[in-house]
Amino acid sequence: MSSNSPLQAVRGMNDILPEEARLWLWFEDTVRDWLEGYGYRNIRMPLLEHTALFKRAIGEVTDIVEKEMYSFEDSLNGDQLTLRPEGTASCVRAALQHSLLYNAPQRLYYSGAMFRHERPQKGRYRQFHQIGVEALGFAGPDIDAEQIVMCARLWRKLGLRDITLQLNTLGDIAARQRHRAKLIAYFEQYSSVLDEDATRRLYTNPLRILDSKNPAMQELIMAAPNLMEELEEDALKHFETVQKILQRHEVAFEINPRLVRGLDYYNRTVFEWITTRLGAQGTVCAGGRFDGLIEQISGKSAPATGFAMGIERLLALLQEDGMNTPPAPLDVYVVHQGEMADGMASLVAERLRDSGLRVLLHCNGGSFKSQMKKADASNACAAVILGDNEVSTELATLKPLRGGEQMQVAFDDLPAKINELIKQG
């Protein structure tokens, strides 16, 4: 950026202005209630981590590590650092560093900004926000299913329809390795049909070829060896139990054998919640089991499962549904004019706040008329008016802003009267 160009936010990083921030606050409150309803506890990690953490946790041959990370060298001490592209690695790092898993499993959640250097477009930003939910130290299919059932509850709570669940299992490592060998052998036979991406991935990450959106390759992909056939007894049973629990809770799903997820650390259950209403950026929530990750980071093994949702995408859906930003909450607008009244106004406002009311004290002067215009536009339920008259009689003028006659009220009685007006709506 040249020195005289206007100052703008970094490309792909958004300001969330007050009007929209109201929707975020409402969403965050709703999500917090929902998570507490399942016994999850909040954890907060730094935005910066050592680059090595993500390389080790996410895997070197992934989109994130290969091309999406904001990494730099700390100019003061030479440390290699990265702005977190996702939260699972940091969350697991924190849990291990502070021995949270020492003798109890943990249900944890976090919320905050993530950073990926992607091409910005609707629903895809370079700074975006996730709610991440992790159950660390749990092995059984019950927790996988509970996490999916709980997502379904959140969509209901938010009033979101049209989100469908895709489910798959990646089995365990041995099965994946057998499948991988078969995939390589299969695709090698058709090397002339493979596109550039697939050719590049054939030996590094053949599973990802199944993910290809290229129409010319779909026939080949449909006929590729199926991982399901390699699954061992335990993994199959795990997957069947997850499905059974979902059916018991009437959570509909579609099994998608090509659902492989972008990150290397997943095994067994993987899932995505998808909408068709956000174009190509249709995945609003994604997750699954990652039994190998904790060992990969620490050497000690513990099973785990989790998911993350993209807040921008969920809010875009809510806005498409015509969800209005809830108005800024305000009870009273205090209008005042005259030297004595001006002095008294802030004292009255503080007294009203003492009683729990939300009060906007007019500042910057102006005529009664212009102040009343602002009060009317403010969303407050009542205006308290203070002028020379009110000061000398020690009675404030209380004007209901949603209909009704104005009245004279002793200062001490204001909170009770205003609460009556609020109750009347």
Residues near ligand ATP, by CB under 6 A: 86, 116, 118, 123-125, 128, 130, 262, 281, 283-286, 308-310, 312-313
Distance CA 62, CA 262 (A): 7
Q: In what side-by-side order are the strands of the sheet with 70-73?
A: 48-50, 80-83, 70-73
Minimal CB distance residue for ligand ATP: 310
Closer by beta carbon to ligand ATP, 31 or else 341: 31
Closer by beta carbon to ligand ATP, 100 or else 311: 311
Distance CA 24, CA 376 (A): 26
Distance CA 236, CA 230 (A): 10
Helices (H), 190-273: 196-201, 218-222, 233-248
Closer by beta carbon to ligand ATP, 278 or else 414: 278
Closer by beta carbon to ligand ATP, 121 or else 408: 121
DSSP 282-345: -EEEEEEE-TTHHHHHHSS---EEEEEEEHHHHHHHHHHTTPPPPPPP--EEEEE-SHHHHHHH
Residue 68 CB, nearest approach to ligand ATP (Å): 8
Residue 310 CB, nearest approach to ligand ATP (Å): 2
Closer by beta carbon to ligand ATP, 96 or else 308: 308
Residue 63 CB, nearest approach to ligand ATP (Å): 7
Helix (H) or strand (E) holding 130: strand 127-136
CB 148 within 8 A of CB 240: no
Closer by beta carbon to ligand ATP, 115 or else 187: 115
Residue 408 CB, nearest approach to ligand ATP (Å): 55
Six-digit token string for 245: 């629990």
DSSP 25-60: HHHHHHHHHHHHTTT-EE----SEEEHHHHHHHH-S
Residue 168 CB, nearest approach to ligand ATP (Å): 14
Residue 274 CB, nearest approach to ligand ATP (Å): 9
